[in-house]
Structure 1
Amino acid sequence: MFQNQGLKAIALFEGTKGVFVLLVGFELLHLLGADVQNSSQQIVHHLGLDHGALAGVFRRLLDQISNSSVRMMAVVALLYATLRLVEAVGLWLARPWAEWLAIISGSLYIPVEMYKLIQHPTLIRILITLGNVALVYYLIRRRRGGRSNLSPSQPF
């Protein structure tokens, strides 16, 4: 029972990410048919991002937003959310394929996180990178089950 608590914690984390991105995807779909530039400008204004050094960057980005780009972002968000939610359910049920999926997807982020950390180190980037490395390490150790090789005991 206690051996799956780590997996369940990771499943909850991945599921939370999936739900969050799913909500973002639905919100993007909600923008379709509306005045995308106006809606986006209202969001940027509400977040207080329309003043200061980044204001020009946000204005240029908002000028380039179209219904087709919003649709594409929504599709990508929904696909990503689906992957995270499927992974979360698989981890919750302690399925080996879900562990391998989490190892692969988590490992893909590490080089990007390291690059960002080297370019502009912040406490949050350090914590994210260390957390992801720890998560991948935990899952690899779990899959190895004390063996010296990385071959899965139950491939699928």
Structure 2
Amino acid sequence: MWLIITYKFVKAGLMLGLAIWLTTDPEAVYLFGQRVAHELVEARPFMVRLGNWLHTHLTKHVIERSALVAWLDGVTTALEGTLLLLGKPWGEWLVVIGLSLFLPFEVYEVIHKPGVGKAIVLLLNAAIVVYLVYELLFPAHRARSRQVPPAG
């Protein structure tokens, strides 16, 4: 459970930092994105498509929407981490529901556009969902696993 809580707080910090940057300096984000797109086009032949796609699709509107998504994800993730840290059972269900909602999209992406990173994210999220559901459905197991063995 501590690994999940740590993950939640690290992710929340990163997403909130990104949200702040996207919100406070969208022009710098745009220029950075265009610089990255240029570097991708110049770097390797297999990165040209990604660089061209980024150059074409990076707009002020996309940056604004990305900021909104980053704020939403950062705040939600921080809330989940806090509820887990406080030991609130409904916090665990919130995490399960939140992660479960993304699994169909992740499966679709892995099937239609396979990639190692996508597969790793899918497996990690699925493992967390299975672990949390097991812990929530079998509270007797949870109580036994948290007991300190008798000394001697």
Aligned AA (1:31): D
Aligned AA (2:50): L
User: Please, which of 82, 88, 96 is the counterpart of residue 75 of structure 2?
Assistant: 82
Matched ranges for 1:107-122 at <5 A = 107-122=100-115
Task: State the Cα deviation string for residues 10-33 of structure 1 (Å, max 9, x = none).
Answer: 11111111111111111112324x
Alpha carbons 1:24, 1:77 under 8 Å: kept: yes
Q: Distance in 1 between matches of 2:29 and 2:134?
A: 47
- Which is richer in helix? 2
Distance 1:72 1:9, change over 3 A: same
How far 1:70 sits from its partner (Å)?
3.0
Matched ranges for 1:91-106 at <5 A = 91-106=84-99
Distance 1:35 1:18, change over 3 A: closer
* SS of alignment partner, residue 106 of structure 1: helix
Aligned AA (2:104): P
Question: How high is the sequence identity, in percent, across the aligned residues?
Answer: 27
More off after superposition, 71-80 vs 81-90: 71-80
* Structure 2: runs of 5 or more not aligned: 43-47, 141-152
Alpha carbons 1:107, 1:136 under 8 Å: kept: yes
How far 1:133 sits from its partner (Å)?
1.3
Structure with the greater relative contact order (CA < 8 A, sep ≥ 6): 1 or 2?
Answer: 1
Stretches (4+) displaced over 4 A: none
Alpha carbons 1:50, 1:58 under 8 Å: kept: no
Q: Distance in 2 between matches of 1:121 and 1:135?
A: 21
| Count of aligned pairs between the two proteins | 135
Alpha carbons 2:37, 2:55 under 8 Å: kept: no
Matched ranges for 1:1-156 at <5 A = 6=1, 8-32=2-26, 34=27, 37-45=30-38, 48-51=39-42, 52-62=48-58, 65-66=59-60, 69-145=62-138
Task: State the Cα deviation string for residues 89-110 of structure 1 (Å, max 9, x = none).
Answer: 1111221111000110111111
* Structure 1: runs of 5 or more not aligned: 1-5, 148-156
Partner of 1:3: none
Q: Distance in 2 between matches of 1:58 and 1:106?
A: 27
